[in-house]
Structure 1
Amino acid sequence: MYLGGEVVADTTRPSLVWEVPYYPTYYFPLEDVRTDLLTPDGETKRSPSRGEGRLFTVKANGAQAAGAALRYEDSPIEALRDLVRFEWDAMDGWFEEDEEVFTHPRDPYHRVDVLASSRHIRVEVDGVTVAESASPRLLFETGLPVRYYLPKTHVRMDLLERTDTATHCPYKGEAEYWSVRVGDKVHTDVVWSYRLPLPESQKVAGLVSFYNEKVDIYVDGVKQERPKTQFA
């Protein structure tokens, strides 16, 4: 893990800690951290489960990340006491082996599968059919509803407006977004696509998908219930 072009921490034995249900966070053994780059902030951060943590500023090659390192030295969870946690977005880059990782660490229990299908998929927004295809790719991802990826030629691209939004997924890569305009109403960032997905998700390259949570999707003529997720 880097800041200012300098290695701040490097380990072959990180701990994965689930601070939130959706993905883990790296915790580094203290001896694998450049502690000479850490300066105590005099501030603390409390977690109901992990206890009181001390915050540190990370300084490397002129770059500075205030409060970006955290130690729970007196944690009720003994395994955390000699570990250091770094704020993901405060660092310049994270790597697993020689491959850069984006957004958050990969979850070893998380799986992504993409299957070709001949199911008939129709997408409606405010009663208007925005997409219809009998050759979708179905993406199954742990903890999320099935996502239906459709060829752009099967989508009413004239109703879509490209936005500046971009997100990163450690399993699929960088996504670009569109809003859907139906009449005078705009549904913001409900459509996305991975132009250059990561190798494990290559089958959805250039295809577009809609948030099941925000539009009406029909599968073989049956309207699907809108799922309740963190994206709803």
Structure 2
Amino acid sequence: MATEPAQRLRIEAGSKRVRAFLGGHPVADTLHPVLVWEVPYYPAYYFPLADVRAELLEPTGRTAADPGLGDGRLFTVRAGGRTAPDAARRYQDSPVEALRELVRLDWDAMDAWFEEDEEVFTHPRSPYTRVDILPSSRRVRVEIEGTQVAESRSPRVLFETGLPPRFYLPKTDVRLDLLEPSDTVSHCPYKGRADHLSARIGGRLLPDVAWTYPTPLPESARIAGLVCFYDTRAEIHLD
């Protein structure tokens, strides 16, 4: 009998072609991915056994227990001179019958993931996440340690399912003389690659107070080149 967590597990068949690469070699390539919501916010990809290159997987003899999924047999993945320990698992005796003939690859252990021919970063896209970017005339002021670093009456507001609204500001409304590029880079599966900005105020460097998407994914093109501040590192005032 399935445990209570397993009964609540959301599992859906996907329709995208999904590929995972390690060392330049495809470890899995499927037209029939299975989306499993192990956490509420986004799914993980599971692959049918026939769509995983079994010769690249070496059993470790170890297992990883999950209260809802059961004991997962762990495999090391070797491809193209790269080794990813415990990067694959199979729940062949899972209380969730739909998982027994599937293989899960650890997202971060792979070098690259593709949905169709577009590379995807951070985690799979959820079919239930929506991103809306709307122009606004709301006045936005941003202060850091008492210094105003931005003021705008033409922000673009990004609404993303499950997250608070984010206010993206034109660079002409930002004190760029107080900001400098950071080495920090992050990725979003819905928006793309973000470069970060640090603030230098009163002789002190305050790291990674804001970010910008120079070339976002097409669906988020409206925020290209705009600046958004972390509400945990700056005071954001809305009128």
> Normalising by the residue count of structure 2, what TM-score does the alignment of the two structures yield?
0.87
SS at match of 2:30: coil
Q: Is 2:230 aligned against 1:211?
A: yes
Equivalent residue in structure 2 for 1:144, among 151, 154, 163:
163
For 1:73-112, what aligned pairs fall within 5 Å after superposition?
73-112=92-131
Structure 1 residue 20 and structure 2 residue 39: aligned? yes
> How many angstroms does 1:126 deviate by?
2.1
Deviation at 1:109, TM superposition (A): 0.3
Q: Which residue of 2 aligns with 1:131?
A: 150
Mapped pair 1:191 → 2:214: no
Cα distance in 2 for residues equivalent to 1:219 and 1:189: 22
Residue 103 of structure 2 is aligned to residue 59 of structure 1: no
How far does the alpha carbon of each residue in 1:20-66 deviate from its partner, in whole angstroms, 9 at most, with x for none? 23221101111211112111012221222212111101122332221
Name the structure 1 match of 2:221: 202
Question: 2:26 aligns to what?
Answer: 7
Deviations 1:58-78 (A, max 9, x none): 122332221110111111222
Cα gap change, 1:21 to 1:184, in 2 (>3 Å): farther
Task: Say which SS state the counterpart of residue 20 (structure 1) adopts.
Answer: coil
Verify: 1:180 aligned to 2:220, yes or no.
no
Residue 131 (structure 1) shift: 0.5
Number of residue pairs aligned between Structure 1 and Structure 2: 220
**Residue 224 (structure 1) aligns with:** none
Amino acid at match of 1:81: R
Q: Distance in 2 between matches of 1:217 and 1:154?
A: 14
SS of residue matched to 2:148: strand
Counterpart residue number, 1:223? none
Q: Distance in 2 between matches of 1:111 and 1:43?
A: 39
Structure 1 position 154, deviation (Å): 0.8
Corresponding position of 1:70? 89
| Residue 4 (structure 1) shift | 2.3
- Root-mean-square deviation (CA, aligned residues, Å) is 1.5
CA distance in 2, matches of 1:71, 1:184: 53
Q: Structure 1 regions of 5+ residues with no counterpart?
A: 221-232
TM-fit CA distance, 1:6: 2.0
The one-letter code matched in structure 1 to 2:235 is D
